[in-house]
Amino acid sequence: MKARNFFTVAALVIGGSVAFTSCVQKNYYDTNPNNNQYNNNGGYGYSFDEEFNGGDNYGWSFTDATDSAYASISNGSYQYVDYSAVKSNMSVVNTGANTAGNFTVLTRLQSNNTMGLIFGASSSDNGYAFYIDSTGSYSLYKEGTNTVASTPIIAATYDSLAVKKGWNTMEIAQAGTNWTGYINGVQVFQIPARALAGSEFGFKVLPATVGYADYLQVQSN
């Protein structure tokens, strides 16, 4: 597990070519946060499945008093807390997935502020983050480091049809040359795929966020 801290940088621009749509609906999602319905492997040969039930098998838990952040597994979910006023916090594990080919990553999140799904990170690159917040908006960022700010690919976009209060299921699918993002089964964007540095996946919370993840599943070729 890696826990990383970053200064928060506000950004209000959209970079790249983005296709937004809500016309695609997947039907295998369930609004019950304790009942994971993602059981079709879609032809993938490799699967990483973290249900956050029982012990901490990958080292997700940590406490960082200096940055007012901590995380732990309890009651079947991953609790991730950042009480800092200025710094965000990221926690990832190596899933062993092949991010050079087709893959999907699925999770279910809820928070009182902003929490994101991290994908394609490595020891030297913080990957990308698919965020959702308590106002009903989502966004997609190229993540930075302790010295390099994160940059927006899709700035915060309000979508009351896709984003619900409480638990939301989020998915990133890399297929061919595209990334497609889903929230609760609704396709919210499709953009050209970018090169990924590694197979580390996990979560990021912005300052003043208490968030929860119900599971993390990654499937790849």
- Report pLDDT for 62: 96
Q: Are 196 and 202 in contact (CB under 8 A)?
A: no
What pLDDT, on the 0 to 100 scale, is given for residue 128?
98
**2-6+19-32+44-220: in CATH 2.60.120.560:** yes
Residues of the chain whose pLDDT is less than 70? 1-3, 5-41
E-only strand ranges, 59-127: 62-64, 69-74, 77-82, 87-94, 103-111, 114-121
Task: Report the C-alpha gap between 168 and 145 in whole angstroms.
Answer: 27
The separation between CA 85 and the C-alpha centre of its own chain, rounded to angstroms, equals: 21
Q: Where are the chain's structural domains?
A: 2-6+19-32+44-220
Angle made by CA atoms 97, 29, 122, in degrees to the nearest 5: 20
- Is residue 115 helix, strand or coil? strand
Q: DSSP assignment, residue 157? A: E
How far is 17 from 175, CA to CA, in rounded Å? 17
Furthest C-alpha separation in the chain: 45
